[in-house]
Amino acid sequence: MSTLRVHWTIAPAIAPRPLINCNRCGGARPYRCGGKFRVNANGKRIDVWLIYRCTACDNSWNFAILERRNRRDIEPALLTALESNDPALVRRYAFDGAMLRDRAGRIEESPDVTVQKELLDGEPGHAAALALELRLEGTTPLRLDRLLAGELGLSRSRLQSWDDGRWLCIEPDGAKALRKPARNGMAVRIDLSDEPDRDAILAAACG
């Protein structure tokens, strides 16, 4: 059976927001990334924070990136990027949901994502199966079935029926994988040999 292999790069469209007890508002509020680092040098020791702002009152909260680090232990290029508020580095930390949750405890995550699709092998009009390789740039609460349904133009019930009948395989496999958030490194394979709309599904997989 010929297989169409496609690589999907999935990136959260909206950065996660920590839920912080705001001392001005008097309760837990979502804080947004302010897009700037604060670098504080005390002798040879350096602290770095990414500044967040309360969405209601603009009160600030510091997301600790580096704490009490010796300047000599920090790569010069990294230090320059921190001091210049490099946008790519800001995005890297702002979209690191795991690190943010570790610092703040609770975060809000948006299910909105962007998907870049790259054809690796095969031709949409000459394949009977689809193999997807998923790479995530950051974490997302978006369930795998919602991701696949939205990008392939399918219903979630159809995906579930394929999963039940073993026409759809997910690795690493796990109980109810379709209903759990998409994760980096997942591989999805779908046998479309008997599907009348196979060509449309394969074309959608490529974008």
* Tens digits of residue pLDDT in 184-195: 999 999 999 999
Centre a 10 Å sphere on the Cβ of residue 137 and count the other Cβ atoms it contains.
16
171 and 83, same structural domain? no
Domain that holds residue 60: 18-108
Would the pLDDT of 85 be above 90? Answer: yes
Residue environment code for 95-131, b if the CB has 16+ CB neighbours within 10 A, otherwise e: bbbeebeebbeebebebebeeeeeeeebebeebbbbb
When pLDDT is cut at 50, 70 and 90, the band that residue 1 belongs to is low
129-180 tens-digit pLDDT: 999 999 998 888 999 999 999 999 999 999 999 999 999 999 987 668 999 9
Domain count of the fold of the chain:
2
79 and 155, same structural domain? no
94 and 73, same structural domain? yes
178 and 155, same structural domain? yes
d(CA 198, CA 201): 5
Asked whether the beta carbons of 71 and 41 are under 8 A apart, the reply is: yes
130 and 147, same structural domain? yes
3-state secondary structure of 93: helix
116 and 49, same structural domain? no
| pLDDT number for residue 41 | 87
pTM of the model: 0.77
Would the pLDDT of 94 be above 80? Answer: yes
161 and 126, same structural domain? yes
Question: Which of 83, 108, 133 corresponds to the end of one domain?
Answer: 108
Mean pLDDT, residues 45-74: 94
| Two structure tokens written together for 166 | 């073993």
| pLDDT number for residue 106 | 93
3-state secondary structure of 73: helix
120 and 98, same structural domain? no
Question: Which of 67, 89, 108 corresponds to the end of one domain?
Answer: 108
82 and 46, same structural domain? yes
Question: Which of 62, 92, 108 corresponds to the end of one domain?
Answer: 108
62 and 128, same structural domain? no
| pLDDT number for residue 176 | 87
108-135 tens-digit pLDDT: 999 999 999 999 999 888 899 999 999 9
104 and 50, same structural domain? yes
| pLDDT number for residue 136 | 93
Asked whether the beta carbons of 189 and 141 are under 8 A apart, the reply is: no
82 and 127, same structural domain? no
